[in-house]
Amino acid sequence: MTYTTSSSSTLPMHQSASKAQTRPKQYRRLPVSREWPTWIIALIQLGIVAAVLAYWEIGARLGWIDSFFWSQPSAIWETFKIFFSTGSAYTDIAFTFRSTLLGFFFGTLAGSALGLSFWWSRNYAAIAQPYIICFESLPKLALAPLIILVFGMGLASKVAIAMALTLVVSTLTTYSGVKAVDRDSERLFYSLGANRWQVFTKLIIPSCLPWVISVLRVNIGLALTGSIVGEFIASQHGLGRTILYAGQTYEIALVWVAVAVLSALSIVMYLSVSWIETKLRKGVMH
Amino acid sequence: MAHSAKLRLENLSMTFATPTGSFQALAPVNLDIATGKFVSLIGPSGCGKSTIFNIVAGLQIPSGGRVRIDGEDATGTIGRVGYMLQKDLLLPWRTVVDNIVLGMEIQGVPPREARDRALPYMKRYGLGGFENQYPSALSGGMRQRAALLRTLLLDNDVVLLDEPFGALDAQTKSQMQEWLLQIWADFGKTIIFVTHDVDESIYLSDEVCVMGTRPGRVIERMTVPLARPRPRSVVTHPDFIAMKQECMDLLNQQYAKPELAEAV
């Protein structure tokens, strides 16, 4: 077989080979994605909500969706107005909000104090260890009926349930913070002649503050969950109680209203706690 | 000697119990250090330098022997000597000046007085302007300076420095050495300095103790025959080189030991 040489020839043996082997080598480029502007994203987000609501309303009116079980946006809106004008909206919101905040505050405080106290005596920490693990693995909500029996139907039981949830989380996180304190820093303090109280207040507590702060966001969610579950079981007020009552009497529209209000409340609390967390973190960490 | 030693280690020994029997970290060590002297300890890893420091600072009780400061038995007491580790251990949530006064604060000096004592030293030693900043704003050398000031501002006459410049780059290190000599001249403390750097130990000190390992002990104690103040060019002086040679020979003998082959 004859072959011609040209300026761009490859080795002779490749000339009869398949086309793929004579193509110049392709190098990949870095994958680049262009980000959409914020307004487009916001528009799409609102669009999704609008589309769902529209489908729901139209579906209910045309009978595709059973409005007895699902209700419809127009009915929900009417119920919303009634709930806030003549209904128990404000009492319920205040009740749930109060029990959540109290449970969050005291649970975080007590939990952090407990976690810090484990630094003080390693023996006491060793003794408490299995109890803490036991309590932590137990689903605390399972204790809710018992707590209600002990504390009654009012605010106290909801606060207690919220505390049960938040306390364990704070204890374990703070204890991790205690264990993470640099041994050499402790030695530094002792070499300067410090006593245990000075080490505790000037080293251990400031070291653990970032840890305490890091769980605030988790704790507010847990506190709210605890309050709602308590209200489900037995309560005279609260958004949880309203949801349960409305569900049992098939007032589905009211269920949605209460759920929506609860979601709004929880978002507000979460954002507030996040804001507090950012502020605290700036003040504590440099 | 006309005056008794500032710091005296009497038969100091340390033995640990291990699963394979007892391990002697420190064989009986006897050391006298006169007031205002700068003494270096050099030796391979595991020669007991840190153990000695921990014992002198009261952070560890020796298996045997005593520590005397100004003639008094100071074994097991804390807060009597300044102790600086290689890590600066500045507390990130405190400002630089609050870190420097930490020692005084612990010992009960009123905050105002402590600050008034610290501020002029901060200015003098290159930390002026950083008083109310946080340690994260300081460079490595400045952090070590702050840590050293914290150590020195206590009313202790004896200061233990455990490889304080080990983590610094060469240029910062030599700046810090100059600075340390300046501070030593100003404060007049008795300094014990641990380092792996033979050059550093000879340049800075009045005496060098070479230590051995397994068990930890002082092999040789040498006086540095160079007059102060020492210019940086002294590192090429024949006396310096002779002493360096001697130290390195002693150290290399240590490294040649078969037991050390696995350890190092």
Which chain B residues have a beta carbon less than 8 Å from that of A286? 92-93, 134-136
Query: Residue range B31-50: average pLDDT?
Result: 89
Domain extents in chain B: 7-81+158-263, 87-155
Q: What is the pLDDT of residue A163?
A: 95
**Nearest-neighbour CA in chain A from B114: distance (Å):** 15
d(CA B192, CA B6): 12
A58 pLDDT above the threshold of 70: yes
By DSSP bridging, strand B21-33 and strand B7-18 are antiparallel
Q: Is A146 near chain B, with CB under 8 Å?
A: no
Q: Is A83 near chain B, with CB under 8 Å?
A: no
Q: What is the pLDDT of residues A234-244, one digit of tens each?
A: 999 999 999 99
**Nearest-neighbour CA in chain A from B73: distance (Å):** 16
Q: What is the pLDDT of residue A13?
A: 52
Number of C-beta neighbours around residue A66 at 10 A = 10
d(CA A204, CA A184): 13
Q: Is A203 near chain B, with CB under 8 Å?
A: yes
Which of A186, A192, A281 is the mutation pick for testing B, counting most B CBs within 10 A? A192
Options 3.40.50.300, 3.40.50.740, 3.60.10.10, 3.60.21.10; CATH for B7-81+158-263 is 3.40.50.300
**Nearest-neighbour CA in chain B from A281: distance (Å):** 11
Query: Residue range B179-189: average pLDDT?
Result: 89
Report the residue from A185, A209, A284 with minimal CB separation from B89. A185
**Nearest-neighbour CA in chain A from B51: distance (Å):** 13
Confidence of residue A220 (pLDDT cuts 50, 70, 90): very high
Q: Is B59 near chain A, with CB under 8 Å?
A: yes
Mean pLDDT of chain A: 89
Q: What is the pLDDT of residues B62-85, one digit of tens each?
A: 998 999 998 889 898 998 899 998
Report CB contact under 8 Å: B89, A209.
Answer: no
Report CB contact under 8 Å: B93, A188.
Answer: no
B177: left (phi over 0), alpha (psi -120 to 50) or beta: alpha
Q: What is the pLDDT of residue B1?
A: 40
ipTM: 0.87
The answer to whether residues A172 and A125 touch, using CB atoms and an 8 Å cutoff, is: no
What one-character DSSP code corresponds to residue A240? H
B12 pLDDT above the threshold of 80: yes
Report CB contact under 8 Å: B59, A187.
Answer: yes
**Nearest-neighbour CA in chain A from B143: distance (Å):** 15
| CB contact burial A157-179 (16+ within 10 A = b; e otherwise) | bbbbbbbbbbbbbbbbbbbebbe
Quote the percentage of chain A above a pLDDT of 90: 74
Number of C-beta neighbours around residue A194 at 10 A = 23
Q: What is the pLDDT of residues B207-227, one digit of tens each?
A: 999 998 888 888 889 999 998
Query: Residue range A184-211: average pLDDT?
Result: 93
Report CB contact under 8 Å: A190, B135.
Answer: no
Confidence of residue B2 (pLDDT cuts 50, 70, 90): very low
Query: Residue range B97-108: average pLDDT?
Result: 93
By DSSP bridging, strand B38-42 and strand B207-212 are parallel
Mean pLDDT of chain B: 88
A49 pLDDT above the threshold of 50: yes
Report CB contact under 8 Å: A193, B106.
Answer: yes
Query: What are the residue ranges of helices labelled H in B153-237?
Result: 170-187, 198-204
DSSP assignment of B114-130, as one string? HHHHHHHHHHHTT-TT-
Q: How many CA atoms lie within 13 A of B164 on its CB side?
A: 29
What one-character DSSP code corresponds to residue B216? B
Residue type, A152: G
